[in-house]
Structure 1
């Protein structure tokens, strides 16, 4: 599962990295959570950033609990499940990020937050699918899901799933409407462990309302939990 991630780069940095235009303003994000409106790049508009809701929109969420099935989709069955098959075929997207969070359970009620990054804090893209629908008031809404796969050894110590991180050379192919299904499925693999890093971060990340640069800074477990230094 991937339930929280960061995108701490500026608008200019994102436009340069993905060679896509972003209309309007964008402020770096350090604690992106489900139901929030965030930038993606879609197969319908690969030269520009669109802003979609992650998983479910706030008005839809009022009547339904946020759960894994609304924010992630398993890469292993993406071409088989009726609920995702159509989106996989024609509505794919890149989800820009520069890190994601997972929590390691160390006691009955205690979890330590970890941040996972690629290379030297590089910007990368999750593989995603998107959907369009009309809400009760007749407005068109757009949502996206992050695809997940089996974890590498770095992530597996914390969680049994990890987001699909696309190789940079596959990003344009993922958006290509004429790409073959077999080629697309081959892209949905576990990211190499030797290209990733992880470290503990502040407990402040637990609260969605917190969204500031301190959240992505390395923090010793001792600073958060006192006697839990052995887990660092």
Structure 2
């Protein structure tokens, strides 16, 4: 499962990388969590950034058991499940990012957060699907899910799933309305391990209230006494 990610680059860097226009101000994000409003690029509007809620809206996100189930969709069954099939066929999107987080279990109660990035710390995108619906008040809302797949050798040390990461060529196919189902499914593979790296980060990432540059800084997971440390 992918439950947190970062987008710490500037608005100018985002526009340059994705060749899309952002019509609002953007503040770099270091700890993006479900229910938050973040930039995506849709197949309907590939030349501009839209802002959608991750998984569910903040109001609906108070139902945590439901909300946690609505942030990811498994790539291997995306074309079969009735709840996702229509979005997979018609409403695909890119979710810009520069890293994502997973937690490595050590014992029954201890978890160490790790950040995963591309080797050159460049921007990339997750493969996603999106949905539009109308609230009881008649307001139009948009949400998205991140697709996940089996982990590569880097991620499997920490977690049994990883988000689908697309390269630039794959991004074009993913947004292309005329791509065949088989071509789309072929994109949903683990990203090459040799192009990625990981490192442990501060436990500050555990709280969605924290969103500062220190969250993505590399630290040592434990000091010489086996205790957590915030100093690397």
| Normalised TM-score (structure 1) | 0.95
**Correspondence 1:35-50 to 2 at 5 A:** 35-50=35-50
1:192 — aligned with what? 192
Aligned equivalents of 2:39 and 2:79: distance in 1? Answer: 25
Deviation at residue 226 of structure 1 after TM alignment:
4.5
The aligned residue for residue 141 of structure 2 is 141
Q: How many angstroms apart in 2 are the aligned matches of 1:69 and 1:187?
A: 23
User: Aligned with 2:166: secondary structure?
Assistant: coil
Quick one: distance in 1 between partners of 2:12 and 2:225?
40
> 2:201 — aligned with what?
201
Aligned-partner Cα distance in 2 for 1:125–1:214: 22
Q: Give the Å deviation of 1:221.
A: 1.2
Quick check: 1:227 aligned with 2:226? yes
1:133-179: CA deviation from partner (whole Å, max 9, x where unpaired):
00111100000000000001111111110000012211111111111
Which has the higher mean CA deviation after the structures are superposed, 195-204 or 165-174? 165-174
| Residues 210 and 180 (structure 1), Cα distance of their counterparts in 2 relative to 1, 3 Å cut | same
CA contact 2:90–2:177 (8 Å) conserved in 1? yes
1:76 to 2:76 alignment = yes
2:25 matched to which residue of 1?
A: 25
Distance in 2, matches of 1:128 and 1:199, equals 25
Gaps of 5+ in 1: none
Q: How many residues align?
A: 229
Shift in Å, 1:222: 2.4
Question: Is residue 2:149 matched to residue 1:116?
Answer: no
Residue matched to 1:162: 162
1:194-223 residue CA offsets vs partner (Å, 9 max, x unmatched): 000000000101011000001111011125
| Comparing 152-161 and 35-44, the one that deviates more | 152-161
Taking structure 1 as reference, are residues 180 and 152 closer, same or farther at Cα in structure 2, changes over 3 Å only?
A: same
Partners of 2:123 and 2:158 in 1: how far apart?
22
Specify whether residues 63 and 218 from structure 1 end up closer, same or farther in structure 2 by C-alpha distance, changes over 3 A only. closer
Residue 67 of structure 1 and its aligned partner are, at CA, apart by 4.4
Structure 2 length-normalised TM: 0.95
The Cα RMSD (Å) is: 1.5
